[in-house]
Chains A and B, each alone.
Chain A
């Protein structure tokens, strides 16, 4: 166990979190674009740097987190609690969810927002090895003309977009890499 080292992940959290958030902001405003997070962030085993950075700059005790089975380890829970003071919960109550693709399904389990408050919906952070710009054609807000992204299941994202303005928002993360697909992104041909 080297969690004691892991606990002190940041030297200057207010500055590092500002950079982390800026990357997240850039990602969600340019859907499908892949970002590289180059920084010294110590995360526990199994938690990618990019996913860790998102949790640090966005989560606190107001944002219950769902951890899928693979991620629901002592080490990860401790790290998250220490840095963010977040609580853990089920899919249906979470503001953020973290896990592998299959473990996070189905989308219907999460809060999708309401007609009056579509913002009250969950954000899923998907641990996804195959992040790449080959694959499904994407267009919509934030995308100049169109782009491509290797979505794990085109249909599910298409369906999520059809709920707009309700729906889930997604980050894909692996090691240093991450990308975002908000609910506004349209999937496939125009």
Chain B
């Protein structure tokens, strides 16, 4: 009897007790996703279409990342899940629990000892190493989407390497505001070919995309796309000679660990609106305390 049929009438938590396949997805789905991942790595920065499945969490909440993680996980893996850099934000907790239940794997907060890290909106502060996999949750994978809403058009633009529109937009920003007005999800070019959306990470994190030792995989569930940056891959953030790319963070230090180099969250500490700053990467902050 197939495992997925058994749970129809059990009263226990349906994700426990072997009711679902290892890491939830059925084998056929995993194979389909695995093929997409391999092609994504072979063509860095190109968005491979895949037929995303309904997951037991809503679209837009990390289903793409979850499907990629589920297809890569081995029982020997140690998984770390972060959202906004933190291990204990609600969505990170929920996804970590999901894999603890369905794959029975070890989880950790420690960036260094994780073999797979699923992330939403941040790259950890601690440098990643060879063999680690960083899996991003992506809401809108198409970097050209806000310039051209039609998939049929943007696909042609990628095929022809026609990225002029993007440069025009960025330059218009500069003439209007004196700055490029994109603060997160800042577009990059991978291996001098594909313009890619790095997911809504702050542009502070963009330099970490370049020549990273870890494999970086990107999953967009609702939009049905998977893409990748292999280790040691050339990644540049789009810019202009007279307006070079500039990573940005709050000009402050963390009020917990005192770091002056990590990305900071601003928090309001009283009704007067006084502010304080803490590291967005909770594990990094914890280790420095």
Asked if the two chains touch in their complex, CB atoms less than 8 Å apart, one says yes
Chain B neighbourhood of A21, CB < 8 A:
30, 34, 71-72
- Chain B binding surface, main DSSP class: mixed
Chain B interface residues toward A at CB < 8 A: 21-23, 27-28, 30-32, 34-44, 46, 48-49, 71-75, 131, 155-156, 158-160, 191, 193-194, 213, 215, 228-234
Q: How many residues of A contact B (CB 8 A)?
A: 40
Q: Which of A15, A59, A121 contacts B75 (CB 8 A)?
A: A15
Residue ID in chain A nearest B193 by CB atoms: A165
Q: Is the CB of A13 within 8 A of B27?
A: yes
Residue ID in chain B nearest A27 by CB atoms: B38
With contacts A59-B31, A115-B160 taken as known, whether A18 is within 8 angstroms of B75 at the C-beta atoms is yes
Given A17-B27, A29-B41, 11 further pairs, Cβ under 8 A? A14-B22, A15-B74, A15-B75, A19-B74, A25-B37, A30-B231, A116-B159, A119-B43, A123-B38, A142-B230, A169-B42
Can you show 15 pairs from A to B with CB atoms below 8 A apart? A18-B30, A18-B75, A22-B72, A25-B37, A29-B41, A29-B215, A29-B231, A59-B31, A119-B43, A119-B48, A121-B39, A141-B230, A169-B42, A184-B42, A184-B191
Q: Is the CB of A57 within 8 A of B191?
A: no
The 10 A-B residue pairs whose C-beta atoms are closest, nearest first, are A182-B42, A115-B159, A142-B230, A119-B39, A141-B230, A141-B233, A14-B22, A119-B48, A169-B42, A116-B159
Is A41 an interface residue when CB atoms closer than 8 A count as contact?
no
- Chain A binding surface, main DSSP class: loop
With contacts A15-B22, A165-B46 taken as known, whether A141 is within 8 angstroms of B27 at the C-beta atoms is no
Pick the most buried of A19, A21, A116, A164: most chain B CB atoms within 10 A of its CB: A21
Is A183 an interface residue when CB atoms closer than 8 A count as contact?
yes
Q: Is the CB of A118 within 8 A of B38?
A: no
Chain B neighbourhood of A17, CB < 8 A:
27, 30-31
Chain B neighbourhood of A15, CB < 8 A:
22, 74-75
Q: Is the CB of A28 within 8 A of B43?
A: no
Is A153 an interface residue when CB atoms closer than 8 A count as contact?
no
Is A58 an interface residue when CB atoms closer than 8 A count as contact?
yes
A95 to B36, CA, bound (A): 12
Q: Is the CB of B232 within 8 A of A24?
A: no
A26 to B115, CA, bound (A): 12
Chain B neighbourhood of A58, CB < 8 A:
31, 34-35, 38
